[in-house]
């Protein structure tokens, strides 16, 4: 597959269950070969990587070849996270967000409205009002799926629905659409051996920049204090942003509830109650 998509013969390969394969090409180049989980997944990932890379801010692996179901990217040699790289990453993330997007929910150029966050479908429907867009296209679809699956109870759903109803008051100052990675948990942050961070597996779209910051906090990120210091230095978030972290984590927690079950549903309800408490 790597040979067909890159035009170079493969001389070796290794892979683990459920993970991309690492393939060595005839010139010694190491690449990663990944199969799309669903139709359209590769198109969404390629357009997202290119859109993020076009900002000239945070680095992403180069796309070396792809078709409808397979993607070949450069392999990033990884090293240990360090504070200096974290500070640079924070500044670069601020620059990525500042590159902007045409609208909230806007897909990358060449991307489709029907995309993915991990293995969950993600609909990129543009809107110009963040609170309404976030409720209609990020929170409520996954809330409905979680309730339908019995993962989240009706009384708990009412708490999340109240957050959606109050979003105009809870959202903080209005901001322009930012260019988001969209699935910025620690597993999608590669700490390169060269001291530079790369981002992989985006669910890229136009959104609120606090959403990416909240995702970094949700599952832990090495040297997060330095990442946030770099971000603050370059483009301080609006006052009160730390109080809104739970609000922005509501979306990924509901996605995880749909994909992985009850434990994340309970976390989503806790985040909703925290958002309402201010």
Instruction: Catalogue all structural domains in the chain, each as residue range(s) with its CATH number.
Output: 77-278 (3.90.1200.10)
Kindly report, residue by residue over 9-20, the tens digit of the pLDDT: 777 778 766 678
- Span 216-222, mean pLDDT? 93
Which pLDDT value is given to residue 18? 66
Residue found by looking up tokens 């180069």 in the block: 62
How much of the chain exceeds pLDDT 90, in percent?
Answer: 80
Kindly report, residue by residue over 106-122, the tens digit of the pLDDT: 999 989 899 999 889 99
- Span 55-61, mean pLDDT? 97
Q: Is the pLDDT of residue 187 over 90?
A: yes
Which pLDDT value is given to residue 6? 75
Catalytic residue (one of 37, 67, 183, 225) = 183
Which pLDDT value is given to residue 268? 98
Catalytic site includes residue 183: yes
* pLDDT confidence bin for 78, thresholds 50/70/90: very high
* pLDDT confidence bin for 26, thresholds 50/70/90: confident
C-alpha span between 46 and 36 (Å, rounded): 11
Kindly report, residue by residue over 147-159, the tens digit of the pLDDT: 999 999 999 999 9
CB burial class (10 A; 0-12, 13-18, 19+) of residue 211?
buried
Q: Which two tokens stand for residue 196?
A: 């530079």
Which pLDDT value is given to residue 1? 67
Q: What is the mean pLDDT of the chain?
A: 94
Q: Which two tokens stand for residue 78?
A: 């990884």
Which pLDDT value is given to residue 14? 80
Which pLDDT value is given to residue 36? 85
CB atoms within 10 A of CB 12: 10
C-alpha span between 158 and 153 (Å, rounded): 9
Q: Are 219 and 188 in contact (CB under 8 A)?
A: no
C-alpha span between 100 and 206 (Å, rounded): 7
SS3 68: coil
Residue 64, φ and ψ in degrees, nearest 5: -100, -15
Residue found by looking up tokens 């109803």 in the block: 165
Q: Are 249 and 215 in contact (CB under 8 A)?
A: yes
* pLDDT confidence bin for 215, thresholds 50/70/90: very high
C-alpha span between 12 and 76 (Å, rounded): 17
Q: Are 178 and 202 in contact (CB under 8 A)?
A: no
């Amino acid at each position: 597959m790597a040979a067909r998509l890159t035009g170079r013969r493969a001389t070796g390969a290794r892979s683990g269950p459920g993970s991309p394969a690492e393939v060595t090409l005839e010139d010694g180049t190491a690449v990663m070969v990944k199969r799309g989980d669903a139709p359209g997944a590769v198109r969404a990932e390629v357009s997202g990587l290119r859109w993020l890379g076009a900002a000239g801010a945070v680095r992403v692996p180069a796309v070396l070849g792809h078709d409808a179901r397979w993607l070949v990217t450069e392999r990033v040699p990884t090293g240990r996270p360090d504070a200096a790289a974290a500070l640079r990453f924070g500044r670069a993330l601020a620059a990525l967000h500042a590159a902007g997007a045409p609208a909230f929910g806007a897909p990358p150029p060449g991307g489709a409205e029907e995309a993915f966050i991990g293995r969950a479908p993600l609909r990129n429907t543009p809107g110009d009002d963040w609170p309404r867009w976030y409720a209609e296209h990020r929170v409520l679809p996954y809330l409905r799926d979680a309730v339908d699956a019995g993962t989240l109870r009706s009384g708990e759903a009412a708490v999340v629905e109240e957050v959606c109803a109050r979003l105009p008051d809870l959202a903080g100052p209005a901001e322009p659409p930012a260019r988001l990675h969209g699935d910025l948990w620690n597993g999608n942050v590669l700490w390169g051996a060269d001291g530079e961070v790369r981002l992989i597996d985006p669910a890229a779209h136009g959104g609120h920049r606090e959403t990416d910051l909240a995702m970094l906090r949700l599952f832990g990120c090495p040297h997060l204090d330095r990442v946030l210091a770099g971000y603050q230095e370059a483009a301080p978030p609006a006052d009160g942003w730390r109080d809104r972290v739970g609000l922005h984590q509501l979306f990924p927690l509901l996605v995880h509830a749909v994909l992985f079950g009850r434990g994340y549903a309970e976390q989503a309800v806790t985040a909703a109650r925290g958002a309402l408490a201010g």
